[in-house]
Amino acid sequence: MLLEGKADSRCSTFITPMFLILITAFAAAVSGSFSLDGDKEVLMHLKSFIEEQNRVNRGRYVEWNQRSSNPCDWHGVLCSNGGARIIGLDLSDSKISGNIFNNFSALTELQYLDLSKNTLNGPVLDDLNRCHNLMYLNLSHNILEGELNLTGLTSLEKLDLSTNRFQGEVKFSLPEFCHRLVVANLSGNSFSGRLDYFDGCSNLQYLDLSSNSFGGNIWTGFARLIEFSLSGNYVTESVTASCFKENCSLQVLDLSENKFHGEVPVEISNCKNLVTLNLWGNDFSGPIPSVLGSVSTLEGLLLGNNRFSRVIPESLLNLKNLALLDLSKNSFGGEVQEIFGRFKWLKSLALHGNSYTDGLLSSGIHKLTNMSRLDLSYNNFSGGLPVEISRILGLEFLILAYNQFTGDIPFEYGDLSNLQVLDLSFNGLSGSIPASLGNLRSLLWLMLANNSLTGEIPLELGNCTSLLWLNLANNQLSGKFPLDLTNIGRNPNPTFESNRKRKLMNVGPTECLVAKRLLNMDYSPLRFVYTIFTMKTCRSIWDRLLKGYGFFQICAGGSLVREYMVSGFLQLSGNQITGDIPSDIGEMQHLSVLDFGSNEFSGEMPIELEKLSLLVLNVSGNRFSGRIPTEIGNIKCLQDLDLSQNNFSGIFPEELSKLTDLSNFNISFNPFIAGRIPVTGQLATFGKESFLGNPLLQIPNFILDGQLSPPSLSPPPPPPPSKSNDESEFWKALLTGYGCGMPFGVAMLCFTFRKREPNWFVTIVDGIHEWKAKRLLKRKLARRI
Ligand SMILES: *[C@@H]1O[C@H](CO)[C@@H](O)[C@H](O)[C@H]1NC(C)=O
Ligand SMILES: *[C@@H]1O[C@H](CO)[C@@H](O)[C@H](O)[C@H]1NC(C)=O
Ligand SMILES: *[C@@H]1O[C@H](CO)[C@@H](O)[C@H](O)[C@H]1NC(C)=O
Ligand SMILES: *[C@@H]1O[C@H](CO)[C@@H](O)[C@H](O)[C@H]1NC(C)=O
Ligand SMILES: *[C@@H]1O[C@H](CO)[C@@H](O)[C@H](O)[C@H]1NC(C)=O
Ligand SMILES: *[C@@H]1O[C@H](CO)[C@@H](O)[C@H](O)[C@H]1NC(C)=O
Ligand SMILES: *[C@@H]1O[C@H](CO)[C@@H](O)[C@H](O)[C@H]1NC(C)=O
Ligand SMILES: *[C@@H]1O[C@H](CO)[C@@H](O)[C@H](O)[C@H]1NC(C)=O
Ligand SMILES: *[C@@H]1O[C@H](CO)[C@@H](O)[C@H](O)[C@H]1NC(C)=O
């Protein structure tokens, strides 16, 4: 009686013993429902299945059956016209962890299933492959893994598998008959295999294969799509003329970061509707095709990181919609091509990494008054910084780092009131920091490190209320730490809010390079960020950051509860700054990195430091004296603490042993410090190089002998108290998901990064894990030596 109706008509011709076998198998496997009541029963099973795996933090499916007994009224449930059957389920963003439900196929009329933005893990079961009526399937943003078999879903029109851990060949994963498929997003997995599978998908329009493991040849059929992204794979072939058919309908073509070589065929101009062409990061050579000038719809042209020849075709000047031009890293050399100054409509120009020596003014780039982003870093420009740039009043990003500019920073740069990023670091700039920079109220980043700047830090910088990332390291700055400086970054919200309101320009891979530098990932304590910040994740991380959302979790001073917060830095190391650190520093609530190393600071360390959400505190190589504040022991998330080479005295505060996250610690060369290093707790896990030159300090013998502390002395830290009780569930899920066989590493991972926004978290957790594991290994090895 289960196989009446539809199934019956389907099978009625097989009246053979085979039929009996089939029907038995079918009944056992499907045993679906064929009425609304049956569907409802399935939903109730689904609900309890999910609830069993998610004991506390739950989505709106918990309301099912409470308000109405008609499932068509329930949140996320869609019924067919007349309410006869359930045809759609939307469980996206419903805080669901654990395995995928094993009986969706019992909803025999299901056409629409959205499970995106949860933390579902494990493999996708065969059950899903039996949902033959599915037209829409969205599994994106989970941690599902393994080889996927959806070959039975021949009705699919929209399929989103992005940001999971699927692997295997597409042709074994997707239906053989895919002529209904219109949208397929496989981005951010490890799919591989032949791309010509998609030949069969005659109605396909949007295909995103970015960040997978496809290699070999390109699929020549892509020109009939509207959007095609193959970014971040390992495809090597040249792109031939035959790829661009006469009726190419592409609007977005993204082949960036593969291994394409050869020339770009002129037939690309057959794509008359092209809006974005991204060929960044391949090995293309030869001329930039001048025919591109006839593609009047073009808004973004990204040709950076290739070996194109130097001549920029005049025809490109016809492109009245061209807003974004990236010709970075093409080794152009010599003078900046004069033509760039004539792209009047540009909003973003990236010419970094070209070994230019000259031609900044003669090219007239400074006359591109509509520009909001200009990146000329990593060239060989010398002489003074061009004052004229200060007339591009809409500039938001000005990046001139890594050149050989000399002389003063023009005070006129203080007129660039829309600036969010000013990066002049790694040049030969001298003179003092102009006070006019204090006018830059939207400034988030001020990067002036590694120049030869002198004089005092202007107190006017304190007016930069958005400034969260200030790096003045390795200059010759002197004078005191101005009290007003503690006002920087007090209220970045207006800048963040204006960024939230508009769609930020997607500047492509170049953005990732800029962001990496701005987040100072070369600075070793922040290197962990680097592992999170892959090409896969950088765009979304960067977007979040500019909108004021943190991308890793930190805890406020005294607290163990970690949250996503923007975390700024103040880097003053390698200068000659004198005097003490004002106690107002405790008000700099967004700071997570304080690096004052190698200066001439003196006086006592302010106890107010305990109020900050610090990850890094480095005061090494100064003249701090007095006691080490016991309050530092309250900065629970501190990872790096370097107090070496100062003149601290008094009794060493054993409270520092409570800093269970500490991975770098140094108290060396403080000859007047007395007391003892506790034999248990975190401090006992460091080697003797952390305790050099402290004659009065009692250091446990096993440290001095260079031995590992007994394992019982360094147990994995206990998980912190939870904000909500479902944390353990989450971790359980995560642990099963990762199954990394490294209990300590995982414990550390658990300890540091906790669930607040799991979907986001999922994309970065791999990186963190790797970093933690590496860090741990390094420390263990170090201790063995
Ligand atoms: C699936 O649901 C149907 C209908 O509610 C039920 O008969 C069947 O036993 C379920 N199968 C599994 C594997 O739970
Ligand atoms: C899948 O879900 C994600 C997140 O909910 C959404 O952003 C995306 O647009 C969906 N994909 C499709 C093809 O609808
Ligand atoms: C595919 O999914 C990724 C991640 O969810 C998203 O960033 C991308 O925009 C999607 N691609 C398309 C073409 O919608
Ligand atoms: C161009 O499109 C038409 C239908 O719109 C199709 O019949 C024809 O084969 C296409 N030409 C090429 C070269 O793909
Ligand atoms: C600059 O942009 C504005 C609108 O964004 C436009 O009206 C103006 O013509 C542009 N100027 C130039 C020189 O292109
Ligand atoms: C930055 O400056 C410091 C100190 O002057 C120097 O040791 C370091 O090598 C410089 N870094 C680079 C990348 O030039
Ligand atoms: C602290 O700063 C000093 C001097 O700038 C540097 O040598 C040392 O490596 C830093 N310590 C840590 C733990 O990063
Ligand atoms: C270092 O501290 C000791 C003990 O407090 C004090 O006697 C000495 O003068 C200090 N030295 C310097 C250079 O500040
Ligand atoms: C601690 O600092 C001293 C002096 O700055 C240095 O020699 C030593 O290598 C540092 N120890 C560690 C573990 O980095």
Q: What is the pLDDT of residues 210-223, one digit of tens each?
A: 999 999 888 989 99
Best residue among 325, 345, 366, 393 to mutate for probing ligand 5, ranked by most atoms within 8 Å of CB: 345
Q: Quick check: 531 pLDDT over 80? A: no
Check pocket membership of 475 for ligand 6, CB cut-off 6 A.
no
Q: Quick check: 783 pLDDT over 70? A: no
Between residues 608 and 565, the one the model is more confident about: 608
Between residues 507 and 229, the one the model is more confident about: 229
Question: Looking at residues 709-738, what average pLDDT do you find?
Answer: 36
pLDDT grade for 631, boundaries at 50, 70 and 90: very high
Question: Looking at residues 307-321, what average pLDDT do you find?
Answer: 96
Residue pLDDT, tens place only, 532-547 = 677 667 877 888 889 9
Q: Give me the pLDDT at residue 559, please.
A: 74
Q: Quick check: 751 pLDDT over 60? A: no
Q: Quick check: 388 pLDDT over 80? A: yes
Identify which ligand lies nearest to the alpha carbon of 183: 2
Question: Looking at residues 759-775, what average pLDDT do you find?
Answer: 36
Best residue among 625, 651, 669 to mutate for probing ligand 8, ranked by most atoms within 8 Å of CB: 625
Check pocket membership of 249 for ligand 4, CB cut-off 6 A.
no
Cβ contact 669:693 at 8 Å: yes
* Mean of the per-residue pLDDT values of the chain: 85
Check pocket membership of 602 for ligand 8, CB cut-off 6 A.
no
Q: Quick check: 9 pLDDT over 80? A: no
The whole-angstrom separation of Cα 187 and Cα 729 is 28
For 133, the 3-state DSSP assignment is: coil
pLDDT grade for 180, boundaries at 50, 70 and 90: very high
Cβ contact 223:245 at 8 Å: yes
Polymer length of the chain = 785
Task: Give Cα 485 distance to the centre of its chain.
Answer: 30
Cβ contact 213:186 at 8 Å: no
Token look-up 């598998």 returns 161
Question: Looking at residues 224-237, what average pLDDT do you find?
Answer: 93
Cβ contact 76:50 at 8 Å: no
Best residue among 643, 664, 668 to mutate for probing ligand 9, ranked by most atoms within 8 Å of CB: 668
Identify which ligand lies nearest to the alpha carbon of 347: 5
Least confident of 163-172, 418-427, 540-549, 759-768: 759-768
Identify which ligand lies nearest to the alpha carbon of 229: 3
Question: Looking at residues 418-440, what average pLDDT do you find?
Answer: 98
Least confident of 141-155, 212-226, 444-458, 729-743: 729-743
Question: Which residue owns the Cα nearest ligand 7 atom 12?
Answer: 642
The atom of ligand 3 lying closest to the CA of 227 is 13
Identify which ligand lies nearest to the alpha carbon of 686: 9
Domains detected in the chain: 548-704 (3.80.10.10), 725-784 (no CATH)
Q: How close is the Cα of 204 to the center of ligand 4, in Å?
A: 15
Q: Give me the pLDDT at residue 698, please.
A: 94
pLDDT grade for 240, boundaries at 50, 70 and 90: confident
Q: Which residues line ligand 7 (CB under 6 A)?
A: 524-525, 573-574, 597-598, 618, 620-621, 640, 642, 664
Q: Give me the pLDDT at residue 562, please.
A: 81
Q: Which residues line ligand 3 (CB under 6 A)?
A: 140, 162-163, 185, 187-188, 206, 208, 227
Question: Looking at residues 265-271, what average pLDDT do you find?
Answer: 94
Containing H/E element for 758?
A: helix 758-784
- Percent of the chain predicted with pLDDT > 90: 69
Of 593, 640, 613, nearest to 469 by C-alpha is 593
Token look-up 């002395």 returns 713
DSSP β-ladder status, 86-90 and 77-79? antiparallel
Q: Give me the pLDDT at residue 67, please.
A: 76
Using CB atoms within 10 A of its CB, is residue 718 exposed (0-12), middle (13-18) or buried (19+)? exposed
Question: Looking at residues 726-734, what average pLDDT do you find?
Answer: 32
Best residue among 672, 673, 694, 696 to mutate for probing ligand 8, ranked by most atoms within 8 Å of CB: 672
Question: Which residue owns the Cα nearest ligand 1 atom 5?
Answer: 42
Q: Quick check: 19 pLDDT over 90? A: no
Q: Give me the pLDDT at residue 654, please.
A: 93
Give the 3-state secondary structure of 267-312: HHHHCCCCCEEECCCCEEEECCCHHHHHCCCCCEEECCCCEECCCC
pLDDT grade for 715, boundaries at 50, 70 and 90: very low
pLDDT grade for 65, boundaries at 50, 70 and 90: confident
Q: Give me the pLDDT at residue 519, please.
A: 81
Q: Quick check: 728 pLDDT over 90? A: no
Least confident of 100-114, 397-411, 501-515, 607-621: 501-515
Containing H/E element for 51?
A: helix 36-53
Least confident of 401-410, 421-430, 610-619: 610-619
pLDDT grade for 585, boundaries at 50, 70 and 90: very high
The whole-angstrom separation of Cα 448 and Cα 471 is 6
Between residues 415 and 504, the one the model is more confident about: 415
Q: Quick check: 484 pLDDT over 70? A: yes
The atom of ligand 3 lying closest to the CA of 140 is 5
pLDDT grade for 382, boundaries at 50, 70 and 90: very high
- Which region holds residue 157: left if phi is over 0, alpha if psi is between -120 and 50, else beta? alpha
Question: Which residue owns the Cα nearest ligand 7 atom 4?
Answer: 597
Question: Looking at residues 296-323, what average pLDDT do you find?
Answer: 96
Give the 3-state secondary structure of 135-185: CEEECCCCEEEEECCCCCCCCCCEEECCCCEEEEEHHHHCCCCCCCCCEEE
Q: Give me the pLDDT at residue 426, please.
A: 97
All residues at 6 or more sequence positions from 738 whose CB lies less than 8 Å from its CB, including other chains: 746, 765, 769
Check pocket membership of 202 for ligand 4, CB cut-off 6 A.
no
